[in-house]
Amino acid sequence: MQPVFKTRITELYGIRLPVIASGLMWLATPEYVGAAVNAGLMGFMTAASFKNVDALRAGIQRCREITGGKPFGVNIMIRTSRDGTDRVTPLIDAVIDEGVRFVETAGHNPEAYIKRFKDAGIKVLHKVPGVRYAKKAESLGVDAVTVVGAEAGGHPGVEPVGTMVAAVAAARAIKIPLIVAGGIGTGDQLVAALALGADGVAMGTRFLVSEEVWADRRYKERLVKAGETDTTLLLQSMRNTQRALKTEHVSMIQQIEKDQAGDTAALLPHIMGTHAHAAYTTGDYEKAMLSCGQGVVFADKIEPFAAIVDRIEAEARATLTRLDSLHAQSAAGK
């Protein structure tokens, strides 16, 4: 079957569909990323999910085995540790040493690391929550950007903008390849994003119900039952807005934000990533803040990653056929 799309993103990554399997904290393992790559997408392992650099190296090697040598990516969070420890450079050292070809950066400005990546022949995709950040990233020399819309799980920015608006605004503002994310989980939306000027889309929440994600099945079953209103925004008081699945734990955090406005110390014990890891392990999702986008409404079945991708491609083809029909009707009516 002929590829359904050819865009700057399919060419950049050498993939079949212009879809990125987003890095997912704790969940973007070699198995998840390997499944994405083998299904014809690009995937990024989340470096922060590994307990140390040696574990990351082992993960890279394991992913290479799963993909049969096909290239994949690593997500690196650019951040400054509270204790001043440089946690970024050792990760970059490992990625370069292991011959990884693609990196996704997120968080703070990646300017200090761009030259190292370029010198090593690594293509850099930078993830941002708004158009002005995309323009800045372009000026730094990144190879592509992902602009995240308000519907996304995780961090949609301090002033979230809807994905449809963000996509068009970004496409008009930058010249480098553009990926858009936020609530996207179907082939219909993929076609729409390309029509808006993007070169591809990123999906995270849609793939949480794939069999290759190691999280407890009870958590996945909750996602299958979820609708588009089952997520909420929190941590605005910390200027670290996050969209998460509605849970008892999240409601408690929101109440603290209301009752103790500005008290970051009161929030910190409840937003630690270890709570999420425990929930994924046990399936007790009510006891954690779990990133989840509004696109969870499309995560309607627990199935192999490849089956999800097949459905997305079939939806995209059907949408293109429908658009062709509408265009033909319009032309005939002239």
Taking residues 156-166, what's their average pLDDT?
A: 94
- Say what the pLDDT of residue 78 is: 94
Give ∠ CA 49-51-55 in degrees, rounded to 5.
95
Q: What is the pTM of this model?
A: 0.94
- Say what the pLDDT of residue 332 is: 65
Of residues 212, 200, 170, 204, the one with CA closest to residue 30: 212
pLDDT one-digit tens code per residue, 34-63 = 999 999 999 999 999 999 999 999 999 999
Averaged confidence pLDDT in the chain: 95
Please report which helix (H) or strand (E) contains residue 98, including its range. none
With 90 as the cut, is the pLDDT of residue 327 above it? no
The SS3 of residue 317 is helix
- Say what the pLDDT of residue 330 is: 62
With 80 as the cut, is the pLDDT of residue 334 above it? no
The SS3 of residue 153 is coil
- Say what the pLDDT of residue 285 is: 97
39's tokens: 């299904």
Taking residues 145-163, what's their average pLDDT?
A: 95
pLDDT one-digit tens code per residue, 23-39 = 899 999 999 999 999 99
- Say what the pLDDT of residue 85 is: 80
Give the right CATH number for 8-214+305-332 from 3.20.20.70, 3.30.390.50, 3.10.20.600, 1.10.10.1100.
Answer: 3.20.20.70
Q: Where are the domains of the chain?
A: 8-214+305-332, 217-287
84's tokens: 């001043």
Read off the amino acid at residue 293: G
The Cα 311–Cα 316 span in angstroms is 9
pLDDT one-digit tens code per residue, 228-247 = 999 999 999 998 999 999 99
pLDDT one-digit tens code per residue, 184-223 = 999 999 999 999 999 999 999 999 999 999 999 999 999 9
CA 25 to mean position of chain CA atoms: 10
- Say what the pLDDT of residue 310 is: 97
Please report which helix (H) or strand (E) contains residue 233, including its range. strand 231-234
Torsion, Cα of 247, 249, 251, 255 (10° steps): 180
Q: How confident is the model at residue 68 (pLDDT cuts 50, 70, 90)?
A: very high
